[in-house]
Every structure is written in C-alpha cells, then in structure tokens.
Structure 1
Amino acid sequence: MLEITTWTLSLALMLIGVAGVVVPLLPGTTLILVAAILHKLLLPADLSWLAIGLIAVFWAASIVADIGGVMVGTRWFGGSKWGMAGASGGALVGVFFSLPALVLGTVFGAILAEKLLANKTDAEALKSGVGAAAGFVISTIARLACAFVMIALFLIATLSGVRA
C-alpha cells in the first residue's frame, strides 16, 4: 500500500510541477524535486542519491533560466538595468492574475521603467518590452525542458533498477 501511495503522490506532484512551469504561483520544478526527494525518503530502495543529485542539478538550471531569461532578453533588445528591473516588477504583479497578465506585466513593466526612469524613447522602450517578453518565453521553454529532463531522470532511475 505504501508503494502505491508513494508512486501516486510522486507522479501527482510531478504533473502539478509541470503545470507550475507555465501557471503562475505554482513552484514548478521545485515540486518535481520535492516529489523525487519524498519518493527517496519513503521508498529508499527505488532511487539513488546520485539520481536525486542529477535531478537537483536540472532544478538549479531551471532557477537560473527563470531568473536570467527575462533579464537577458531585455538586455539583448537594448534594455537598461531599469528595463530589467521594470520587467521583473511587472512580472511580479502579473503573476497574481494569470499567464497573459504575467506576460503583459513583464512587457509593460519594462516599457514603463525605460520611459520613466531611463528616459528612453518610445521605440527604445517598446523594443525593451519586446525583449522582456522574448526572454520570458525563452525562460519558460528552458524551464519546461528542465522539468521534462527531471521527470525522465526520475523514471529512468526508478524503473531501471540500477542503484548507485
């Protein structure tokens, strides 16, 4: 019974984690890592600590992608430090509403910060906003890839029977 419950909990948390990569306010890849650790603690023979370590490496990569994506995208499109800060602030506000509000908050945050704080032209501010949106999309794709790799590592490690 413990085995069925543990597998159900692990897989449910991982599926919610995948949804959390794109849905605001869910911790995404963190849920996948927590699921793997819980599985290891409840069924120690199923999963090695090496597998947990590899899963944690991709979790860390997803965090870097999450933080860096919007900032790098904004910068690549000519945004300033103000644009990066505005994009992050706009995303923080948008996260409480919906996925479209998150993207729009990121764009408008970058545009407003560039216009009001960096004294950029309308065209430069808009370009920075587009960069912020592009960075958000790229970081979401990268986090989604990390989530799928984390789940694949978990499944390979648990179903292969190889223990390290």
Structure 2
Amino acid sequence: MDYILLMIGLICMIVGILGSFLPVLPGPPISWLGLLLLFSTDAVPMNYWTLGITLFVAILVAVLDYVIPAKGTKRFGGSKYGIWGTNIGLILGLIAPIPLGFIIGPFVGAFVGELIYNSSDKKRALKSATGSFIGFLASTFMKFVVCMVYLGLFIYLAWTNSPNF
C-alpha cells in the first residue's frame, strides 16, 4: 500500500507543477495533496507541523493567484473596469479554444475594460493591461516555486526514509 501512496503522491507532485502553469489546475493544493499522501505511508512519520504549514502556504498561494493579477492592474493605474476585465478575461481565456488563452485573456480583458472606462486613453489602457500581464507572470512564478519546494520536500522525505520503501 505504501508504494501505491508513494506513486500517487508523486503523480500529484507532477500534476501540481503542471498546474502552476495551467490555471485550470490548482497547482500548490494538488502538490500539497501529494505531501499528504506521502505522510500517509507507514514509512514516513506523520508531522502535523509540516503538513499544517505547507497547507497554509498552499491555500495562501491559491488565493493570491487570483488577487495578484488584479492588483497588478490596479498598481499600473487601472480602474475597477480594468480589474473586472482582468478577471473576466482570465475566465474567457481559460475556456477559449485558442493557444495561450489563459495568458492573452487577462491582458485583453484589462485592455478592453479600461477602454470601456475611458475610450479616449489608449495609453492608460495598455499600461493597465501590462500590469495585468506582469501580475499573471508573478503569480505563475510564485506557484511554480512553491510546487518545486514541495517536490523537493517530497523527494527528501521519501529518500531519507527509503530503507522502508
């Protein structure tokens, strides 16, 4: 049973890393699930502190993933229309059958939202859309780093307890 939990946990780690780039999958929570499965084996002793801290980080990063692009839009001078455009663009970009729609959607959504707010100021709309794109890249990088740290922790714990596997 330990080998099955270990393999499913490793698969969760890999899916979590993919989820850090694909907004459809919540990367850090899936990676955390892989850690939980590892701690569920008999070979690795349960550590509630590690699980609690990593769960808190996974939830925090999952929430920040939605907040950072909107804050990037606001930081670069965007209005509420630009923030709403970013969020709507992200959702439409996810379901649109175009390549990289999850990257293009927030950018175009912020741009269109700002144009709706003030159609004469295209420079401001472009600046706001750039803020949205930078926020998206920052949140993606943050998720990737967290998932890689979780993978490192997973490998370390599995490796140090390898005589039992």
What is the TM-score normalised by the length of structure 2? 0.85
Q: 1:51 to 1:139 in 2, by over 3 A?
A: same
Identity %: 25
Where in structure 2 are the equivalents of 1:2-151 lying within 5 Å? 2-43=1-42, 45-96=44-95, 97=97, 100-116=100-116, 118-120=117-119, 121-151=121-151
Q: CA deviation at 1:154?
A: 3.3
Q: 1:60 to 1:44 in 2, by over 3 A?
A: farther
**Consecutive unaligned residues in structure 1, runs of 5 or more:** none
Q: CA RMSD in A?
A: 2.0
Q: CA deviation at 1:42?
A: 4.3
Q: 1:135 to 1:143 in 2, by over 3 A?
A: same
**Corresponding position of 1:155:** 155
Given that 2:29 and 2:55 are in contact with CA atoms closer than 8 Å, whether structure 1 keeps it comes out as no
| In structure 2, C-alpha distance between the alignment counterparts of 1:63 and 1:5, rounded to whole Å | 27
Given that 1:51 and 1:157 are in contact with CA atoms closer than 8 Å, whether structure 2 keeps it comes out as no
What is the TM-score normalised by the length of structure 1? 0.86
| Farther off after superposition, 22-31 or 140-149 | 22-31
| In structure 2, C-alpha distance between the alignment counterparts of 1:104 and 1:59, rounded to whole Å | 25
Q: CA deviation at 1:53?
A: 1.2
| 1:95 aligned counterpart, secondary structure | helix
**Consecutive unaligned residues in structure 2, runs of 5 or more:** none
Q: 1:7 to 1:142 in 2, by over 3 A?
A: same
Code of the residue aligned with 1:109 in structure 2: it is G
